[in-house]
Structure 1
């Protein structure tokens, strides 16, 4: 497999943030691009046809104000990527995003800082690759350790407009994220 250049874009994620009734949050979604793998969808692109999904562990969020900017501080935590040989993602049922084969787990290095103003919010975080497994897809064997051995840095954009949440949640918002491979650490 060809490796992306240092800081090369390795994925585009499409997802939702969910806030549970107890205030904890999670994010989940699917990939519109993942390191040159194809085809990523079994049919027209969307969550229901995506072969690769992700889901975070629940995390807590603190908010603070700075003038008209609202800042969120998301706790560190883990998220897992899944291969869904039979895609079944459905944003009204968050559990559908973690039904596939786990292929990699990442852990955010530090607190995620997000900023919201008006209809949009942004965030930036880095995450280390903690585990990965070989998998076969599209007639090739892949392992995300070859693609992002050190992990990723992702920039995200989210809507501040709430969507109707599924049962058990009090809020849901859409987001997209673009991730780049982290470079090797210097000695």
Structure 2
């Protein structure tokens, strides 16, 4: 068998393998203003000094597989959930506007047996962690309407690859900076303390 025959057989095989790998593994590159994830959840404030934000992902850039195991799509059948645990560092009142700063940890989990229940926050962190980030966030509350926005600055500290359907992916990379913005409304009396929906942007 001559060299041309060997090369002629190997090159198409390498092309095929590369195509298969690119189909199975996905970690999209995002620009600074691209929406990478969309999230829905609730807020619970166990005390004036602490707050947790829990919920699930409805979209993740690059993932073509369904993120829910049933319909209607909600927390009970979501495969990707999040849990954010924060401590209040400062509160400033400015007329009818209240500004709250917090620090903490944000985590996303893969839950292959979904059981999300907003009455039990721990059900949103009983899966396998796939992304962990340090966070700082600012909440701006309109004390008249009870509407608020919360902006999270996230720095990814660890990621794990995972598979949904036939697709293997990672949601980020260590050191990556992400910006998460939630729009919400306070709920009184709770629980929950509030309802939130938002999006993640990152590069």
TM-score by length of 2: 0.78
Aligned equivalents of 1:87 and 1:106: distance in 2? 22
Q: Residue 65 of structure 1: which of 81, 84, 93 is its match?
A: 93
> How big is the shift at 1:157?
0.7
Q: Residue 115 of structure 1: which of 140, 143, 154 is its match?
A: 140
Do the aligned residues in 2 keep the contact of 1:106 with 1:151 (CA within 8 Å)?
Answer: no
CA gap 1:120/1:50 in 2 versus in 1, 3 angstroms: same
Alignment gaps of 5+ in structure 1? 166-170, 183-187
Q: Deviations over 1:83-135 (max 9, x none)?
A: 01111100011110001111110111x4x221111131012121011000111
How does 1:41-120 map onto structure 2 within 5 Å?
41-44=68-71, 45-60=73-88, 62-74=90-102, 76-108=103-135, 110=136, 112-117=137-142, 118-120=145-147
> How big is the shift at 1:149?
6.1
How does 1:33-44 map onto structure 2 within 5 Å?
33-37=59-63, 38-44=65-71
Q: Residue 137 of structure 1: which of 146, 164, 181 is its match?
A: 164
Q: Which is richer in helix?
A: 2
Q: Radius of gyration: which is bigger?
A: 2
Do the aligned residues in 2 keep the contact of 1:163 with 1:173 (CA within 8 Å)?
Answer: no
Aligned equivalents of 2:54 and 2:89: distance in 1? 16
Alignment gaps of 5+ in structure 2? 1-25
Q: Deviations over 1:8-27 (max 9, x none)?
A: 10111111111114742111
Aligned equivalents of 2:189 and 2:33: distance in 1? 33
> How big is the shift at 1:154?
1.3
Alignment of 1:5 with 2:31, yes or no, is yes
CA gap 1:58/1:123 in 2 versus in 1, 3 angstroms: closer
Aligned equivalents of 1:163 and 1:48: distance in 2? 24
Query: In the alignment, what sits opposite 2:8?
Result: none
Q: How many residue pairs align between the two structures? A: 173
Aligned equivalents of 2:170 and 2:189: distance in 1? 35
